[in-house]
Amino acid sequence: MSKLSHLAETLIGSEIVKLGNAINERIRNGEKIYNFTIGDFNPNIFPIPQELEACIIEAYKKHYTNYPAAEGILELRQAISTFIQEWEGLHFTPAEIQVGSGGRPLIYSLFKVIVDKGDKVIYGVPSWNNNHYVHLTDGEHCLVDCTPENNFMPTVADIKANIKGATLICLCTPQNPTGTTLSEDSLKQICDLIIQENNSRGENEKKLYLMFDQMYWTLTYGDTQHYNPIALNPAMKPYTIYIDGISKVFSATGVRVGWALGPENVIAKMKAILSHLGAWAPMAEQKAVAQYLPMKDAIADYLVNFKGAIEYRLQHIYEGIIALKAKGYSVDAVAPQAAIYLTIQLNLVGKKKADGTILATQSDVTSYILGEAKMAVVPFSAFGASATNPWYRLSVGTCVKEEIPEMLATLEAALEKLT
């Protein structure tokens, strides 16, 4: 075959999508699989809000099927401006808001606006897709290995040690894949570091920006709270770009409406890039979301039921894993804090199967759990972590709650067979 571009030859596709497709193929072939891979929802279990659905249908009936404005239709950006003011106390004008078809094109365009070839990008691992976006923009990877002791988040010390010469810091809280959050104090100190670093740079030097992915910010449980940079340090506004949208908060991953909030000059350049990509949210969906976001009572009611259903699944699976740990099995889990993810540990390398075969690698463990326990989870290696990392993301968006006891029993039976 003829040689393609360097990017094409070196690019790795989404490991999560690849794994999810393989699992779905096994399910289509009649195999019983407890599928916890994709960060998506089963619409039959978690439908979008009825009011939003009605607005979408009405928008199509009114024939809103033409091109939207490149930056997003004005009425949607106005609705987003009001929504974030009322719910988060953040003030962004429509000119500081860019609408896209979900978060991915917004993140890509942000990287293209800020990161030049060789620019240093700081991000923690595990984290969702930062490694791929750095590769797509020829940036310099500056990985921070995160630990369970720090909620799998980069620490202030991690950032401080790498901040010199950096162009972009990527934070996601609540975090995909871990379902954990960044504390108020840590985020405040990271913001202080960014301000100090930018103040030390010359007038003609490129500034350090923060990409703050808060796609899951409404999905917190128990005493967990979400904090955001500008609320903690208003001086961060010129340097912070938020990534947000309806995909997770309203179980609307396929509706494809996301938005970025940031400095007007950055947003304008993101608009220019997206105008060439055409990665806009569809006109009808934009009209519908503009109608739905002001429905504050309806949104509050939806979130109570939606969050309750997700938390039930996370908590019951967590308790089941901890019960298995108490029985002596080499498993563990982090108590659920936020998002739709549970972090679990399958520390089974070196264990021997019934046929005498040793689980020599973490990949062997993943295959064994899938084959024997019929449980599909995503290893943290798919999120940039080491191939030897024993931690996994378990996503509950397609979980049938009645199957949780059955799944845990099947997992225990698989663990029982190991020596």
pLDDT tens for residues 163-208? Answer: 999 999 999 999 999 999 999 999 999 999 999 999 999 989 999 9
Does one domain contain both 104 and 206?
A: yes
CB 162 within 8 A of CB 327: no
Does one domain contain both 218 and 166?
A: yes
Residues 6+ apart with CB under 8 A from 418: 348, 351, 352, 353, 359
Instruction: Give the pLDDT score at 335.
Output: 97
Instruction: Give the pLDDT score at 1.
Output: 64
Strand partners, 394: 342
Tell me which of 240, 263, 294 is where a domain ends: 294
What's the CA gap between 180 and 147, in Å, rounded?
A: 11
What is the enclosing helix (H) or strand (E) of 147? Answer: none
What is the enclosing helix (H) or strand (E) of 393? Answer: strand 391-395
What's the CA gap between 213 and 193, in Å, rounded?
A: 19
Can the peptide bond before residue 105 be classed as cis, meaning omega within 30 degrees of 0?
no
State which residues of the chain have pLDDT below 50.
Answer: none
Cα–Cα distances in Å, from 353 out to 22, 413, 418? 24, 12, 5
Range of the domain at 15: 6-46+300-416
Domain harbouring 312, CATH code: 3.90.1150.10
Instruction: Describe the strand order of the beta sheet including 166-172 as a list of residue ranges.
Output: 97-100, 258-261, 240-245, 209-213, 166-172, 120-125, 140-145
Does one domain contain both 10 and 85?
A: no
Nearest-10 Cα torsion for 394, 395, 396, 400? -80
User: Rounded to 5 degrees, what are φ and ψ at 341?
Assistant: -120, 145
Residues 6+ apart with CB under 8 A from 324: 331, 408, 411, 412, 415
Does one domain contain both 267 and 356?
A: no
Does one domain contain both 314 and 403?
A: yes
Cα angle 266, 272, 276; round to 5:
145
- The packing angle between helices 103-114 and 264-277, to 10°, is 120
What's the CA gap between 49 and 291, in Å, rounded?
A: 13
Cα angle 155, 161, 166; round to 5:
100
Tell me which of 294, 317, 339 is where a domain ends: 294
What's the CA gap between 390 and 113, in Å, rounded?
A: 36
Does one domain contain both 101 and 24?
A: no
Structural domains counted in the chain: 2
Half-sphere exposure of 186 (CA within 13 A, CB side): 16
Query: Residue 209 has which token pair?
Result: 């920006």
Residue 400's CB is within 10 A of a number of other CB atoms, namely 14
User: What DSSP string runs through 37-75?
Assistant: -SS---TTTSPPPHHHHHHHHHHHHTT--SPPPTT--HH
Residue with tokens 């899951």: 216
Tell me which of 294, 327, 350 is where a domain ends: 294
Does one domain contain both 290 and 313?
A: no
8-state DSSP, 223: T
Does one domain contain both 81 and 147?
A: yes
Instruction: Give the pLDDT score at 14.
Output: 79
Q: Strand 120-125 vs strand 140-145: parallel, antiparallel, or unpaired?
A: parallel
